[in-house]
Structure 1
Amino acid sequence: MRLLVQSILDYAIFMLDPRGVIVSWNVGAQRIKGYSAEEIIGTHFSVFYPPEDVAAGRPAKGLAEAAADGRWEEEGWRVRKDGTRFWASVVITALYDDGGGLRGFGKVTRDLTERRSMSRALDERGLLLARLVQAQERERRRIASGVHDDTIQSMVAVGMRLRTWAEKLPEEHAAEVRTLDETVEAAVNRLRDLAFSLRPPAEGLVESLAAYLDQVKAGTGLTHELRADLDGEPPAETVVTVYRICQEALTNVRKHAGASRVTVELSSLDLGVHVTVQDDGAGLEPSPLPSPSPSPSPDAEARHFGLIEMRERAEAAGGWWHIRGTPGGGTTVEFWVPAVPLARRDHGEDP
């Protein structure tokens, strides 16, 4: 039996003591979670849970329910040694001695990330998401076109008229007109930034992010590095999702981090795209997603909703999103989204 359990590759099978400390480890657990037996035995099993689940007390809840009911089962995100997440099926079984005393728990974990990603290809929610992303991008293009072709041009004309007046007016009035012209010019620059941010990604995810990083650098002098190790070009809706989340993360770096350098890294992982955006800036307060105060500053409110938008985009796509950092120690935004082409409907229409 020991030989059988230790040799199974497709399942992580190990035991916990009554407190949840790991006391045995099989080769399947090492393959799925990345730890050797020497590294992990003696560690509490909560190390496999995402930080938000640990904070919510999910590991303790699982043990308590297994002890009360004999077993506990769920599917959810778990964390490997390298920090990446995978979708897991988990069963915890309480183990009792002949006298009914709790000796510990048997835990079986299976990596279902690939199955979950493949099933998404046939998921109606995925089709709805694709249409929603397309609708959002069409609306963004419409707004960007209106801002660029109408609003900005009108305001540029106003600025030109103000400068003409300033040349003709007495100095005591010309100074006030020049101040108005400077205000109009600043508003035009903000609208140009808005129009640029609303543009859809160009051809190719890496090319689009490289172009956006160059634009950020041109406006701030921020040094950047883009690393990409992708198996191929992701589906269109994945490209948009990754691009928009990275765009929001880089906007936060530019406006709030006070950073001198930012690194964006993309890689193919578990039939999806894994991304980290890391800066060397001011870092985070202990709670990066606080409830908005009654009268938050515009910058604080924008950043708060920007973080929420990133997380909601990733989760709506069937993935996950996480942010971490310490005051003065920089910030890392990390997320993963599936990159499985969505199934076409029977009549052949694009999703």
Structure 2
Amino acid sequence: MRLLVQSIRDYAIFMLDPHGRIVSWNAGAQRIKGYTAEEIIGTHFSVFYPPEDVAAGKPPMELETAAADGRWEEEGWRVRKDGTRFWASVVITPLFDEHGELRGYGKVTRDLTERRSMARALDERGLLLAHLVQAQERERRRIASDVHDDTIQSMVAVGMRLRALGERLPEEYATAVGSLDDAVEAAVGRLRDLVFRLRPPGDGLVEGLAAYLEREMSGVAYELACDLDGEPPAEAAITVFRICQEALTNVRKHAGANTVSVRLASLDGGVHVRVRDDGIGVTHREHRDGHFGLIEMRERAETAGGWWDIRGAPGEGTTVDFWVPAVPRTHDPAGRQDPAGRRDSAGRQDPAGPS
């Protein structure tokens, strides 16, 4: 029986003592969670839970419920050794001896991340999300075009007239007009920056991030590393870019960092991203209250069906970790092609159009 349990690789099967400490470990647990038996035995099993679940007291609650009801079962996010998360099916079973004394718990975990991503790619919610993301980007591009072609051009014309007027006025008035011209020029610069942020640069995710880093991270040494199997679907690429954009904006404005690295990799049928800087770290207030930018990043990732995390002690830099599914949408139950496709079952052009 020990040989059977320890050799299974598709399921993490291990035992906890009555207090939740790990006392056994099989090959599947090492493959799924990343720890060897020597590293993890004796550690409390809460190490596998996201910080927000630990803070909410979820691990001990699950043990108490399992002991009272005879089992605990759920699906949810769990954390690997390297900090990445996976969608797990978990069953906890209390183990009683012949005298009815609780001797510990059996825990069986299965990694369902890829299956969940595939199901999400086919369901109506995933289809709606894809259309929503692309609609948001179209609106951003429209606003960027309006600002660039109308507002900026009008303000540039105002600046030219102010300069021409200043050349004809006495010095005492020319100085005031020159100050107005400087204010207009500064406003034009801010609007150009807004247009740049609204409209992702480049033709693909990596190219867009490279262009963004080059333009926005002046004074900060940066590194961009990519290990993707291919270009993600449009909605996944947009989501990844926007979260990275917010994370890098925080680095530039608030971190006081000298270096930042952005690493992208294909993982579990999605894109895993790690943005790490050497700045001031995350303050207690940001963890407790939630900075608006942090909330926006988390909501983007979770709305896409993924996860997001931030960590970093004060003075030790910050790491933003997130993952979003990137399964190509090849089927729509209503007969339409995916949002990157062009026509529905009747041959009509998809009103969402290409991104």
Asked whether the two chains share a fold, i.e. TM above 0.5, the reply is yes
Moved more, 192-201 or 264-273: 192-201
Distance 1:123 1:246 in 2: 27
Whether the aligned pair in 1 keeps the contact of 2:89 and 2:110 (CA below 8 Å) is yes
Please give the secondary structure, in 2, of the residue aligned with 1:288.
helix
Q: CA deviation at 1:223?
A: 1.6
Whether the aligned pair in 2 keeps the contact of 1:113 and 1:270 (CA below 8 Å) is yes
Distance 1:90 1:287 in 2: 33
Please give the secondary structure, in 1, of the residue aligned with 2:284.
coil
Q: Tell me the amino acid that sits aligned with residue 268 of structure 1.
A: S
Given candidates 284, 308, 312, the residue that maps to 2:299 is: 312
Distance 2:82 2:267 in 1: 12
Distance 2:315 2:178 in 1: 40
Aligned 1:226-241 pairs, distance under 5 A? 226-241=224-239
Q: CA deviation at 1:201?
A: 4.8
Distance 1:238 1:201 in 2: 16
Distance 2:42 2:243 in 1: 38
Please give the secondary structure, in 2, of the residue aligned with 1:121.
helix
- 1:326 aligned residue: 313
Q: Using a 3 Å threshold, how does the CA distance of structure 1 residues 347 and 112 change in structure 2: closer, same or farther? A: closer
- 1:272 aligned residue: 270
Q: CA deviation at 1:26?
A: 1.2
1:336 and 2:334 aligned: no
Aligned 1:240-279 pairs, distance under 5 A? 240-279=238-277
Q: 1:324-349, CA deviations, whole angstroms, 9 ceiling, x for partnerless residues?
A: 12222221111000110124335443
- 1:184 aligned residue: 184
Aligned 1:120-131 pairs, distance under 5 A? 120-131=120-131
Q: Tell me the amino acid that sits aligned with residue 304 of structure 2.
A: A
Q: CA deviation at 1:6?
A: 1.4
Distance 1:195 1:239 in 2: 19
Distance 2:65 2:271 in 1: 35
- 1:195 aligned residue: 195
Please give the secondary structure, in 2, of the residue aligned with 1:333.
strand
* Uncovered stretches (5+) of structure 1, i.e. residues with no partner: 293-303
- 1:295 aligned residue: none
Please give the secondary structure, in 2, of the residue aligned with 1:67.
helix
Q: CA deviation at 1:109?
A: 0.6
The sequence identity of aligned pairs, in percent, is 76
Distance 1:130 1:289 in 2: 30
Q: CA deviation at 1:61?
A: 0.9
* Uncovered stretches (5+) of structure 2, i.e. residues with no partner: 340-355
Aligned length: 338
1:350 and 2:348 aligned: no
Moved more, 340-349 or 61-70: 340-349
State the TM-score, normalizing by the size of structure 1: 0.93
Aligned 1:1-351 pairs, distance under 5 A? 1-217=1-217, 220-291=218-289, 304-345=291-332, 346-351=334-339
Whether the aligned pair in 2 keeps the contact of 1:137 and 1:200 (CA below 8 Å) is no
Whether the aligned pair in 2 keeps the contact of 1:284 and 1:327 (CA below 8 Å) is yes
Q: 1:43-99, CA deviations, whole angstroms, 9 ceiling, x for partnerless residues?
A: 100111111111111111111111111111111111111211111111111111222
Whether the aligned pair in 2 keeps the contact of 1:16 and 1:105 (CA below 8 Å) is yes
Please give the secondary structure, in 1, of the residue aligned with 2:78.
strand
Q: Using a 3 Å threshold, how does the CA distance of structure 1 residues 287 and 324 change in structure 2: closer, same or farther? A: farther
Q: CA deviation at 1:290?
A: 4.6
Distance 2:171 2:113 in 1: 70
Whether the aligned pair in 2 keeps the contact of 1:152 and 1:188 (CA below 8 Å) is yes
Q: Tell me the amino acid that sits aligned with residue 319 of structure 1.
A: G
Q: Tell me the amino acid that sits aligned with residue 258 of structure 2.
A: S
Please give the secondary structure, in 2, of the residue aligned with 1:239.
helix
Whether the aligned pair in 1 keeps the contact of 2:276 and 2:320 (CA below 8 Å) is yes
Q: Tell me the amino acid that sits aligned with residue 252 of structure 1.
A: N
Distance 1:79 1:2 in 2: 26
Distance 1:350 1:97 in 2: 55
State the TM-score, normalizing by the size of structure 2: 0.92
Whether the aligned pair in 1 keeps the contact of 2:329 and 2:338 (CA below 8 Å) is no
Q: CA deviation at 1:260?
A: 2.0
Distance 1:117 1:333 in 2: 22
Q: 1:123-171, CA deviations, whole angstroms, 9 ceiling, x for partnerless residues?
A: 1111001100110011001100011011111111111122222222222
Distance 1:35 1:280 in 2: 27
